[in-house]
Chain A
């Protein structure tokens, strides 16, 4: 019993419990038909949410007020730039990927400059920069109807025994990021800053450098998501990042990371991303209309934060 007790105290376990509950409910309703396919689809789509979720998690962990709102526009810009440069040719894959990462680095640096030089809350800084990034994406990607290189499209949609290859890669990435968070100087510093920025500074942590790397990481992961997503969905579109604003924040919160900062969890992001996808699938199978689906998604996020977020007083 002690095993169950220790397990139930881990914040991330609840996202997996929710995920299985929703999946079971769907399976019971359909009589088990296509339940495995649903899981495959959930793995495919959750992958993209997890990529941006990890970046958002590091940002949120650095303390209250730290949120990256420029993720959706970075996804769109990176996708558009990569598609245009590669122009559907396998030979340009590496250059396209480099350009995509370049977008991420540029956005990350720009975001941090705004936060540092203008001394404005990160929410406002990333919001303002997202206007500029989105405009660049719109202007650059006007009338963009370029198919991704076949190699990229194949890679992002490939499966081994019903498990998407990309999902395996991102599970590995998540594992690495888990180690980075808990076992490296950088990760421990992020947690320390989130717990008490002043104490972290007094302990000799270079707070500004850590914050810089955190916003850089978030932007680069968003760019990676844009690159892979445009390969997965057969090309870039300007609003393809839109849904990831709420999704990136929601998976972090549902996954057991504290919104007050200083407490993070990588595993929970996977559970939460699967949960979010399976929830929409369940509502679809039950025949809920678009309106009901939206209302349920919103209410569940508010319910989860209400239950999870209350016990820690914010500074």
Chain B
């Protein structure tokens, strides 16, 4: 039993949940009043958009790419959501569908020309930002009423962000980890040659994964304006970094299709909590990003330790 609990495999899987629990306990210790329905709701408010963006990034990382444009993209979809979708719903839905299609096309381009994803996505981040500025030149707009009411949903006993995070994690887990096409998709990251030889189209897997990332990016943008009720082209600039950090905190590997949707959601929760924890400790906001970087490095160091034991 003890041998099983200290095996590298178990430790690696338990690391995301453990770091989340430790952080949560630390918060309760420093600020016992946070241990309430209202307190948790407040602390975890922004978990939902961060978790959705993290899942989007996870899809990209699954196929061995990295997306440096997801923050700008979430900003764009937020701007479309607060303008077109609110004023002319049909046009808004079409525009958001076009965004998802553009993401799938980006995946196709990366596969077709064998391009480095960081350069392509970095370039595209300017395109998303440019379109967002054209759609909404100054901060403003209004989120559609239905989006706001979804985000303001009150669930008895358990705070809504936690319920939403569990639902997101489980749905993606079932599709990506349990379905047969999910295995093919992860295989495209783990051993593309084998997947290609087995007759699956690698172009299609790339497009599906990038399209899925685009879809979750749209969801992230919409849930974000559901909370803020207005948008701005730069509203989600930080999300690019959050999403990468979330995937890593959640135990995802950078290459080889080894990812974990539930871990990614826990990673996003951990990131959302870090901000509150530092506020409770009265650490100046100057160090917020630094502390997030520090936690990231700490978790990576722990993982390196565990992997070394594996030999």
| A residues at B contact (CB < 8 Å) | 64, 67, 114, 117-121, 123-124, 127-132, 134-136, 138-139, 142, 245-246, 249-250, 253, 259-260, 289-299, 301-302, 305-306, 309-310, 312-314
- Expressed in whole angstroms, the Cα–Cα distance for A249 and B241 within the complex equals 18
- CA of A24 to CA of B303, assembled, Å: 55
Interfacial residues of chain B within 241-271, with CB under 8 A of chain A in the complex: 241, 244-245, 248, 254-255
In Å, the complex CA distance between A295 and B292 comes to: 31
A135 CB to closest chain B CB (Å) equals 3
Sample of 13 A–B contacts (CB below 8 Å): A118-B300, A120-B254, A123-B254, A135-B287, A249-B119, A250-B123, A289-B133, A290-B130, A291-B134, A292-B130, A294-B133, A302-B124, A306-B115
B245 partner residues in chain A, CB cutoff 8 A: 128
Cα A292 to Cα B135 with chains together (Å): 11
- Tell me the complex Cα distance, A301–B122, Å: 9
Q: How far is B126's CA from A56's CA once the two chains are assembled, in angstroms? A: 20
Min CB distance A197 to B, Å, is 15
What's the Cα separation between A299 and B127 when bound, in Å?
Answer: 7
Q: Determine the distance from Cα of A301 to Cα of B69 in the docked complex, in whole angstroms.
A: 14
- Contact residues in A for B297 (Cβ distance below 8 Å): 114, 118, 128-129, 132
What chain B residues lie within 8 Å of A130 (beta carbons)? 293
CA distance A302 to B303 in the complex (A): 35
Do the beta carbons of B119 and A301 come within 8 Å of each other?
yes
* Interface bits B101-135 vs A (CB < 8 Å: 1, else 0): 00000000100111110111011111111111110
- Which chain A residue lies CB-closest to B292? A131
Contact present for B293 and A128 (CB under 8 Å): yes
For the complex formed, measure the closest distance between the CB of B152 and the CB atoms of chain A, giving whole angstroms. 32
Contact with A309, one of B114, B124, B130, B131 (Cβ below 8 angstroms): B114
Q: Would A246 and B122 be within 8 Å (CB), given that A127-B241, A135-B289 are in contact? A: yes
Q: Does B290 contact A (CB under 8 A)?
A: yes
Pick the contact of B131 from A123, A245, A295 — CB < 8 Å? A295
CB contacts under 8 Å to A, within B292-311, are: 292-294, 296-297, 300-301, 303-304, 307
Shortest CB-to-CB span from A264 to chain B, Å, is 15
Contact across chains for A294 and B127 when beta carbons are under 8 A apart = yes
The residue of chain A having its C-beta at the shortest distance from the C-beta of B285 within the complex is: A138
> How far, in Å, is A125 (CB) from chain B's closest CB?
8
Across-interface contacts of A124 in B (CB, < 8 A) = 244, 248, 254, 300
Please state if B123 and A301 are interface contacts (CB–CB under 8 Å). yes
Given A291-B133, A295-B131, A309-B114, CB of A118 within 8 Å of CB of B290: no
Q: What is the CA–CA distance of A118 and B304 in the complex, to the nearest angstrom?
A: 5
A306–B120 CA distance with the chains assembled, in angstroms: 9
Nearest residue (CB) in A for B133 is A291
Q: Is the CB of B122 within 8 A of A245?
A: yes
Q: How many B residues have CB within 8 A of the partner chain? A: 47
Are A305 and B133 in contact, with the CB atoms below 8 A?
A: no
A121 to B137, CA, bound (A): 37
Instruction: Evaluate contact between A135 and B115: CB separation under 8 angstroms.
Output: no
Q: Closest CB of chain A to B134's CB: distance in Å?
A: 4
Task: Decide: A135 and B290 in contact? CB cutoff 8 A.
Answer: yes
- Cβ of B122 and Cβ of A249 under 8 Å apart? yes
Of A114, A119, A123, A139, the contact of B286 (CB 8 Å cutoff)? A139
Contact A142 B286 (CB under 8 A): yes
CA distance A191 to B248 in the complex (A): 31
CA distance A306 to B110 in the complex (A): 8
Q: Is B88 an interface position by the 8 A CB rule?
A: no
Q: Of A121, A135, A296, which one neighbours B293 at CB under 8 angstroms?
A: A135
Chain A hits for B41, CB < 8 A = none
Residues of chain B within 8 A (CB-CB) of A64 are 116
Which residues in A have their C-beta under 8 angstroms from that of B300?
Answer: 114, 118, 120, 124, 128
Please give, as numbers and ranges, the residues of chain B lying within 8 Å of A313 by CB-CB distance: 114
B window 117-167: CB within 8 A of A: 118-120, 122-134, 137
Q: For the complex, what is the distance from the CA of A298 to the CA of B134, rounded to whole Å? A: 15
- In the bound assembly, the distance between CA atoms of A266 and B112 in angstroms comes to 28
Given contacts A120-B254, A124-B254, contact A314 B114 (CB under 8 A): yes
Closest B residue to A259 by CB, please name it: B116
Given contacts A309-B116, A313-B114, contact A121 B127 (CB under 8 A): no
In contact, A299 and B123 (Cβ under 8 angstroms): yes
Contact B115 A291 (CB under 8 A): no
In the assembled complex, the Cα of A229 lies from the Cα of B286 at a distance in Å of: 23
A135-B286, A293-B130, A305-B115 are contacts. A121–B254 as well, Cβ < 8 Å? yes
Assembly CA distance A296 to B134 (angstroms): 13
Shortest C-beta distance, A249 to chain B (Å), equals 6
Q: Closest chain A residue to B303 by CB distance?
A: A118
Asked if A292 and B126 sit within 8 Å, CB to CB, the answer is: no
Q: A245-B122, A291-B130, A294-B133 are in contact. Are A129 and B293 (CB under 8 A)?
A: yes
Q: Which residues of B contact A294 (CB under 8 A)?
A: 126-127, 129-130, 133
A250 to B118, CA, bound (A): 11
Instruction: Enumerate chain A residues within 8 angstroms of B301, measured Cβ to Cβ.
Output: 117-118
The distance in angstroms between the C-alpha atoms of A306 and B300, with both chains bound, is 34
With the chains together, A131 CA to B287 CA distance in Å?
A: 9
Contact B304 A289 (CB under 8 A): no
Given contacts A64-B116, A135-B293, 13 further A-B contacts (CB under 8 A): A118-B300, A127-B241, A128-B297, A130-B293, A131-B241, A131-B293, A132-B293, A134-B290, A301-B119, A302-B123, A306-B115, A309-B113, A309-B119
